[in-house]
């Protein structure tokens, strides 16, 4: 049964824009318009504030946890055009690196699969995407895709490190996949790949009629297909699937909502999608055995409390 195990009053002074649990689900990072990032320990139904990370000079839009093999690392981005990478050493959080090579608000950050090393993608309203990576000797470097989306880039998400077609291929060891998907104000979803250490456009997916607000590449469990979900200002969520053999993406509208859809998240098994939007509601969608997407948080009454999660709990 779905149950609330923690309910945390973050004491943020303004709107919260993102909340992310770390890999193990034991640490929570939240960010807000009050320019702060808060880190909580949430072990065993209890939570304690462990850090207030101040460093952004405007609202903080998103946070992301790196894989624990790199240590406790958070990346955050915000209105102040900065991406800050924070690291915990002996219980204290410090800035590890500040990337400030964007000309407008940075709307999205995402860490690459750990197979690729400590690599981070950032999408900004200046239309570009930056790939920031640790060179291993403590310094950082970045590559930039300029003009990735005209007007602005709103979201980035990495492809799983294992290519679906590699699963059909018998030729032994494969290089980890280095691909990412982005969505922007040109209403497009674009897939990028690294080729000869340059990032090039791999695919352009047209389907939305307004700004794309979020994209999310589904984790792979070993099935030979790729799935991307995208959501937009046009209130639609589209599921893009690729059978792995060709660059041929088919689209399917998951649902048209009543308000802007601005956030998507896949479960680790890649078959449940959490959708949230301007109506302050969260719904969970699952593909059934017939290949149809159904809303499981509405259908199963017992699990229904998550739909109105916010309102039900706050009252």
Partner 1 sequence: MAAYWSEECAIADFADLQANAMAVDCLGSWTVLAGRKTLALVDLDNPEDRVFRVTRQSKYDISCVQWNPHASHAHLFVTASNNKIDLFSWQESNTKPECSMKGHSRNISDLDWSSFDVNVIASCSTDNFTHLWDVRDPRRPVSSFQTVAGASQVKWNKVTNNCFATAHDGDVRIWDPRKGNTSLVYIAAHLSKIHGLDWNPFNEYSFATSSQDGTVKFWDFTNPRHDKGMLNSGSPVWRARYTPFGHGLITVVVPQLRRGENSLYLWNNDSLQQPVHQFIGHSDVVLEFQWRKSREGKRDYQLVTWSKDQSMRIWKIDPQLQRLCGHDAQDSSENELSAVDVSDAMETDHKETMANQRLNASIMYSNKTDSLPQQQPMNLTQEFSLVNKNIPNVKIEEMAVVKRSCIAIAVSGKNSVTLTVRFPTNYPNEAIPSFEITESTVDNALHKKLHKVLVDTARKFVKRNTNCLEPCLRQFSAAFDKMTLEEKKTPDSDTFPMPQASNKLLQSGLFSAYQDESIPFPRTCGAHFCPAGYVVCFGRSKEAKKGFGRPDVTPKTLSELAVYASSTRVRSSQSASGFPVYFSKSPPTPNSETVSVSMYYKYKDRKQRARVKSRVKDDLELKSKEMIKSSKIRTVTLAPVCIYEISSLLAINKQLGEEYRIDLKDIPKMCQQNIKAALAVGRKDLVQLWSIISQISNPNLMSSPSFDSGSPWALNPFGRQMLESLMQYYQQIHDVQSLAMICCVFWSKQESVQPPVVKPSASKSSLIEGTPVNTEGNITFLPGSSSDSGWNLLSGRSKNLSKSTLTEVPSNPNITAMFQSAIQKVKRSNSWSDFSMDDYRFAEDADPKEKAIQNEKQQHENNCRLLDPCHEAQYEQYLRTYANILYCWKLLTKSAEVLKHISTPLEPHRGIEFGMMCHCCGKNTRGARCNNENCLMLAFQCVICHTGVKGASNFCLLCSHGGHAEHMLEWFQLEDKCPTGCGCFCLTGDPF
Q: Which candidate, 233, 291, 282, places its Cα nearest to that of 262?
A: 233
**How many C-beta neighbours within 10 Å does residue 115 have?**
14
Q: Closer CB to partner 1, residue 198 or residue 298?
A: 298
129 part of the interface to partner 1, by CB under 8 A: no
Q: Which candidate, 299, 294, 304, 205, places its Cα nearest to that of 254?
A: 294
Q: Which stretch binds partner 1 (CB under 8 A): 137-145, 192-200, 247-255, 306-314?
A: 306-314
Tokens representing 206? Answer: 């047209």
Q: Which stretch binds partner 1 (CB under 8 A): 56-64, 90-98, 191-199, 247-255?
A: 56-64
Q: Which of residues 236-275 bind partner 1 (CB under 8 A)?
A: 258-260, 262-263, 265-272, 274
Q: Closer CB to partner 1, residue 7 or residue 247?
A: 7
Q: Which stretch binds partner 1 (CB under 8 A): 76-84, 85-93, 137-145, 190-198?
A: 76-84
Tell me how far, at minimum, the Cβ of 274 lies from partner 1, in Å.
4
Q: Which of residues 138-157 bind partner 1 (CB under 8 A)?
A: 150-152, 154
Neighbour-count burial of 269, counting CB atoms closer than 10 A to its CB (0-12 exposed, 13-18 middle, 19+ buried) = exposed
b or e along 117-145 (b: 16 or more beta carbons within 10 Å of the residue's beta carbon)?
A: ebbbbbbbbbbbbbbbbbeeeeebeeebb
306 part of the interface to partner 1, by CB under 8 A: yes
Q: Which of residues 186-225 bind partner 1 (CB under 8 A)?
A: 186-187, 209-211, 213, 219-224
107 part of the interface to partner 1, by CB under 8 A: yes
Site for partner 1 (CB under 8 A): which residue of 88, 116, 117, 162? Answer: 162
137 part of the interface to partner 1, by CB under 8 A: no
Tell me how far, at minimum, the Cβ of 213 lies from partner 1, in Å.
6
Is the backbone of residue 268 left (phi > 0), alpha (psi -120 to 50) or beta? Answer: alpha
Q: Closer CB to partner 1, residue 190 or residue 281?
A: 281
Q: Which of residues 22-41 bind partner 1 (CB under 8 A)?
A: 22-25, 28, 30, 33-36
Q: How far is CA 305 from CA 59, 263, 288, 293, 311, in A?
A: 30, 19, 21, 19, 9
Distance, CA of 78 to CA of 56 (rounded, Å): 7
Q: Closer CB to partner 1, residue 245 or residue 269?
A: 269
Tokens representing 67? Answer: 């894989």
């Amino acid at each position: 049964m779905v149950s609330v195990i923690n309910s945390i009053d973050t004491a943020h002074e303004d709107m919260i824009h993102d909340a992310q649990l770390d890999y193990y689900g034991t640490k929570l990072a939240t960010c807000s318009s009050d320019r702060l990032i808060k880190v909580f320990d949430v072990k065993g139904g209890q939570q304690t504030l462990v850090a207030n990370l101040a460093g952004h000079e405007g609202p903080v839009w998103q946070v992301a946890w790196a894989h624990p093999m790199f240590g406790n690392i958070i990346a955050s981005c915000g209105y102040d055009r900065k991406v800050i990478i924070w690291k915990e050493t002996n219980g204290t959080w410090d800035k590890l690196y500040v990337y400030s090579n964007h000309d407008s608000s940075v709307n999205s950050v995402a860490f690459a699969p750990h197979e690729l090393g400590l690599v981070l993608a950032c999408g900004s309203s200046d239309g570009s995407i930056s790939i920031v990576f640790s060179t291993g000797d403590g310094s950082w470097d970045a590559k930039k895709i300029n003009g990735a989306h005209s007007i602005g880039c709103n979201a980035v998400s990495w492809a799983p490190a294992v290519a679906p077609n590699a699963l059909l291929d018998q030729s032994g060891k494969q290089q980890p996949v280095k691909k990412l998907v982005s969505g922007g104000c040109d209403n497009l979803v674009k897939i990028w790949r690294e080729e000869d250490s340059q990032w090039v456009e791999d695919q352009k997916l047209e389907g939305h009629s307004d700004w794309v607000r979020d994209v999310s590449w589904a984790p792979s469990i070993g099935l030979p297909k790729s799935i991307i979900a995208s959501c937009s200002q046009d209130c639609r969520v589209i599921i893009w699937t690729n059978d792995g053999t060709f660059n041929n993406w088919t689209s399917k509208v998951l649902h048209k909502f009543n308000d802007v859809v601005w956030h998507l998240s896949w479960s680790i098994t890649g078959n449940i999608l959490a959708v949230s939007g301007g109506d302050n509601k969260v719904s969970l969608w699952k593909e059934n055995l017939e290949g149809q997407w159904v809303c499981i948080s509405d259908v199963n009454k017992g699990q229904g409390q998550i739909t109105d999660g916010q309102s039900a709990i706050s009252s």
